[in-house]
């Protein structure tokens, strides 16, 4: 397969987006040589108890984060759709856009450990490659079924992700930044400053809209 235009998708709640996300996104995009790389905020994630800030705010913060970085794009389809949205549906839509070109879904190790809790999770592998990024405090912790899927599909060279449109799994090391949105929300709720964990501009947005004051 000639090297066609692959699409990389980095999904998350981004509640709020922080330097852990942004640094990982930058490194993954560069290491995989992706021209089309999108950060995709979840609308109303069904596998979690809900988000803290509304999708419109989470989307606005992501847009602020990438405003000066045109190589990172934001895909707003899940937030626009409102209601429950499933990654499997989003990937099905993107598969149409990608044609026979590779589609790559990026997940951190903690999210990868939970992959078999996602709606129609087995279908994710037929729609996209899964790229698992290292994350502090998260080690491999798979159910036996998920472990079997990952082992079977695992490749060590990233080039192999370009040989077919979907179906492979690769691990990618990113700079370890032990930053989480949970920790940032806790700082804010406790009246402490989360500065230097996320861009100042987003901190300004959070303050202006009084987000996360209740945790
Ligand atoms: P929360 O604490 O609310 O769960 P979070 O910091 O984990 O927030 P998410 O929006 O849940 O952020 O994460 C989206 C994706 O980014 C997930 O795949 C997650 O594993 C990954 N990710 C989040 N933070 C980091 C980080 N510091 N380094 C690498 N990957 C990260
Ligand atoms: Mg998380």
Lookup: tokens for 211: 């987000």
Tokens 């790559």, residue located: 104
- pLDDT reported for residue 49: 61
Q: Where are the domains of the chain?
A: 7-209
Query: What tokens appear for 113 in the block?
Result: 């450990």
The pLDDT value given to residue 177: 96
Quote the ligand 2 centre to 111 CA distance (angstroms): 7
Stretches in the chain below the pLDDT threshold 70: 1-3, 44-49, 82, 215
pLDDT of residue 137: 85
Please report the atom of ligand 1 found closest to the CA of residue 12: 14
Please tell me the distance between residue 156's alpha carbon and the centre of ligand 2 in angstroms. 25
CA of 43 to the centre of ligand 2 (A): 14
| Helix runs in 13-157, H state only | 19-32, 55-66, 77-81, 87-98, 109-113, 121-127, 144-153
| Number of alpha carbons in the 13 Å side-chain half-sphere of residue 199 | 17
Q: Which residues line ligand 1 (CB under 6 A)?
A: 12-15, 20-21, 24, 107-108, 110-111, 133, 135, 174, 177, 179-182
pLDDT tens for each residue of 157-202: 999 999 999 999 999 999 999 999 999 999 999 999 999 999 999 9
Token readout for 167 is 């179906």
What mean pLDDT, rounded, does the chain reach?
A: 93
Dihedral sign, Cα of residue 35, residue 16, residue 47, residue 135: positive
Q: How far is the CA of 180 from the centre of ligand 1 (A)?
A: 6
Can you tell me which atom of ligand 1 is nearest the CA of 52? 3
Distance of CA 183 to the CA centre of its chain: 18
Burial class for 178, CB neighbours closer than 10 Å (0-12, 13-18, 19+): exposed
Q: How far is the CA of 110 from the centre of ligand 2 (A)?
A: 7
The pLDDT of residue 4 is 82
Nearest ligand atom owner, CA of 16 = 1
The alpha carbons of the chain give a radius of gyration, in whole angstroms, of: 17
Q: What homologous superfamily is domain 7-209 in, according to CATH? A: HUPs (3.40.50.620)
């Amino acid at each position: 397969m000639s090297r066609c235009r692959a699409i990389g998708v980095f999904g998350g709640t981004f509640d709020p987006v922080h330097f852990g996300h942004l640094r990982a996104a930058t490194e993954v995009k560069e290491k995989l040589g992706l021209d089309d790389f999108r950060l995709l905020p979840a609308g109303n994630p069904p596998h979690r108890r809900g988000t803290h800030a509304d999708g419109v705010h989470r989307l606005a913060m992501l847009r602020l984060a990438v405003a000066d970085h045109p190589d990172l794009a934001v895909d707003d389809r899940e937030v626009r759709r409102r209601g429950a949205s499933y990654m499997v549906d989003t990937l099905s839509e993107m598969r149409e856009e990608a044609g026979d070109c590779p589609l790559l879904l990026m997940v951190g190790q903690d999210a990868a450990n939970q992959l078999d809790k996602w709606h129609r999770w087995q279908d994710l592998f037929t729609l996209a490659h899964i790229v698992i990024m290292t994350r502090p405090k998260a080690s491999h912790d798979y159910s036996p079924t998920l472990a079997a899927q990952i082992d079977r599909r695992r490749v060590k060279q990233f080039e192999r992700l370009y040989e077919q449109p979907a179906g492979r799994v690769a691990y990618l090391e990113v700079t370890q930044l032990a930053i989480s949105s949970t920790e940032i929300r806790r700082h804010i709720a406790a009246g402490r400053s989360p500065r230097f964990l996320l861009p100042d501009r987003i901190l300004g947005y959070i303050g202006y809209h009084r987000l996360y004051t209740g945790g």
